[in-house]
Every structure is written in structure tokens, then in C-alpha cells.
Structure 1
Amino acid sequence: MPDERKTPAVSTDASAVDAFVREVGRLPASRGSGGRGRLLFAMDATASREPTWDHACGIQGEMFVAAEALGGLDVRLAFYRGFDELKVSRWTSDGRELARLMGSVRCLAGRTQIGRLLRYAADQRRESRLDAAVFVGDCCEEDVDQVGHEAGQLGLLGLPVFVFQEGNDRTASRLFPQIAKLTRGAYGRFDRNSPEQLKRLLGAVAAYAAGGRDALLKYGKEKGGAAALLTNQMK
């Protein structure tokens, strides 16, 4: 049965970042330390995301930095855009390569395909090819109950989804926290004015993917600031 705890929305102030990392810290360990983590980095690349796509390209490198000491991180980029287009990259362990892949993407008008992304993540999880997933988006134009069903399937498979919402779309504001709750992941908001905090949050997710809860605690201690304040609350 899905966890009934509340999943807090995370804004851009330090205390909210602390709340997000604390929420991640409550998750079960995803893997033992010393192995390579595998993370699906899934993004909405429809036209509404174009103004902040470059922003996202510039902050993802922290994921690799945070995971390197834990045995490394393999990331696969997935995005939807245009008319029924969903693309998935090869696995990469190089932040510069992921940035290059993201930089080559051009946003195109189209409807969201969040449910389809979650089904893909489920298939990868069943093949033991994923430890965690990140989704970055700003809206949902699908049947929210169907998307919720797909999220519930991921919860049963034990794959947490970390959902980052750009903007304040009403439907997304209701649905995205539910995706996080159903998958036992976490949910946060961001905008173009909070690059450093989003970078730290992505680093926290990467640390969790590579080494579980203990790795997240270590990341918080090393980074200090909001992450450290948050991890201190987990002791």
C-alpha cells in the first residue's frame, strides 16, 4: 500500500531545501555503497519549457560530482516533445556528455507524456537498470488518474521518483506531489532564480541513487549549508 505520509512542497528558501533532503533521508537505501548508481533524468521538452531548458543544462553536473566518491553514477536522459515523440539517450557517466546531449535538444510544441515516461521507468526498473528517477516539468495535460496509476506501479517496484516542478500550474501542483508520494520519492519547486539550491537538490538525489541514505547524509555534511542543516535533522 502506498505510504500515506505527506510529501512537502519545496520552495527556494533554505528551510524548504532542508525539508526536501530530510524527506529523501527517510527513504530506504536504494543500493549498497561502492557500486555505480543508475539514474533516469527525465524532462518535459515541450515548448513551454524552452525558456528554462538551458538553465537545466547548466546545473545537472552536480549529480556526477555528488556520486563520484560513491562509485559513480550512470545517467540516461529521457525527454518528450512534439507529436508523440519520446527519446532516450544512451547511458553516460560524464556530466559534460550529458550537458552536450541536453544542449542538442530543441523544445517543440506538444502535449505532455508523463504517463509514458513512468511506464518506461517501470520497464527499466523491472530489468534492474534503475535506482532512482528525476522528472522535471511544468504542467500535465493527461488524465491525472492514469498518471497516478503509473506512479503507483513504480511505488510497487520500489523506484522513487524525485519530481521538480517549474512554475505554478494548478494541475501540476496537485499531481506532482502525488507522483512523489506514490513512488516514495520527493517533490520540489524551482525557478530560474534558484540555480544553486536546485543544483544541491540534484546532488542529493544522485548521492541517494549511488549509495542510499548514508550517502545522502555524507553529502549533506560535505556540502554544508542547507543540506547540512537538513541532514542533521535525520540523526
Structure 2
Amino acid sequence: MPKQRGPAAWGYALLLPVLLAALPTGTDVDYQLGGAADVPDHVGIVVRDRAAQPLEGTYNVCYVNGFQAQPDQRRFWRDHWRLVLKDGGRPVTDEAWGEWLLDVRTPAKRAALTRIVGRWTQGCADDGFDAVEYDNLDSFTRSHHLLSRRQAVAFAALLVGRAHDAGLEAGQKNLAGFDGTTIGYDFAIAEECGRYRECSAYTHVYGDRVLAIEYRRPDFRWTCRHVGDRLAVVLRDRDLTPGGVHEWC
């Protein structure tokens, strides 16, 4: 049976105090952070950056870098310098992506960051997105031991609450094995769970409400073979360019 697309496949989940559109299952996903593109009819879920517009006729997930600073936003974060994590006066950087880590060590800083990220989240809702993914929950593992898992989870709980207040479902991104439902996460986005053999760590918590993104063809084949009958799986080029690789199981 072909996978369904669009609102007929979605259903709705009542999560107080607002009615949230539930992430659909039985459909495919496209991951479009590098630029918007049209999708084939079997794709019912699209993930786009918060600066992009949602795609009509699909379930739209808004990408927000909740725990790190996008490289093109350094001027903004210099105006909020106390909220950038520093080691010896220098910002702690995720070298793989050139992103500064945000400082979630104290309740006051977590509250200040929630006000900022919360405005972005509300912007996603105002633009018509159905859900939000907050990237880099695991940034504490790259923090030179300055951040703790407990602090990251405490901040994540605030963000999830802000998403629900805005009428959006919230997706856990990264930190395989963590049960995000304990703080209200609704689904997960699992980058390269096939490569790292982590897919079951997400499905154990979220069942079939997991979006699997792979960047290498052998990992994509493995993921399709092992979970492609129950999860939305897509193969993308690592730069996520509109004209790049888009393949599904």
C-alpha cells in the first residue's frame, strides 16, 4: 500500500492545554535545511529552517538550533554575549559545524535563552509550521565538560513547554537513548541512526514517530532494510542542497 500524504494521514493528539497536530506516520519525509524544494506525492513531512516557509499540503517541521549558535548569527549572539558558553574567555565551539555553544548552566541563563528561542518558536507557529525540532540536545558532550546532561535536559524541558504553548509538537534531536517523552517531546529526528546503529534507541521510546535522515548510501540501505517498513527514511546530501540527493526507501 502506498504511503499517504497530507492531513488525512495525520490524525490529532490532544495535549493540554492546546490541540497539537500529530506527526503523521505511514508517509515519507524530506529534510530541506539547505533550501526549499518541491516534493513527490509520497512525501507528507517536510523539515525546513525557521527562516523558510512551510510547504502547503504537508506536515511541516521547523528547524531551530536551540542549543548552539548558527555561524551566520554571531553578530546577534555578540549582543547576548553572556549567553554564549566560554572557556578561558573564548567561546566554546562545535568544530564540526563552527557553531558556538549556548550557556545553559544556570536557571537565569536558561530562562533568558528560552525567551529568545521561544520568540523563534512562536515565529514558526505564526508562519504555519506544525512542529519544531530543537537541534543539538547533545551539545553538552562537546562543552569541554562545562555543561552537564542535567542542565541540557532542564533547558530542553523549557523549550518543549514553549513549543506546546505555541501549538507545536516538539521533536527530540540527538542524544540517542534519552527518553525525551519524560519532558514532553512528541517525536524524534534521528540523524544517521543507521550509521551509528542507534535507530532502535529512538524507536524504543517513540515507536514509529521517528524521522531517520541518512547521508551515506550504505547507511541508508541498512536503515531501509532494518526500519524502513515502519519509519520515514530519507537519503540526503550532507549540505542538504535543493538539487542534491533525495532518495527514499
TM superposition score category, shorter chain reference: 0.3 to 0.5
Which of the pair has the greater relative contact order for Cα pairs under 8 Å at 6+ separation? 1
Q: Which has the higher helix share?
A: 1
The TM-score, its normalising length taken from structure 2, stands at 0.36
Q: Which has the higher strand share?
A: 2
The TM-score, its normalising length taken from structure 1, stands at 0.38
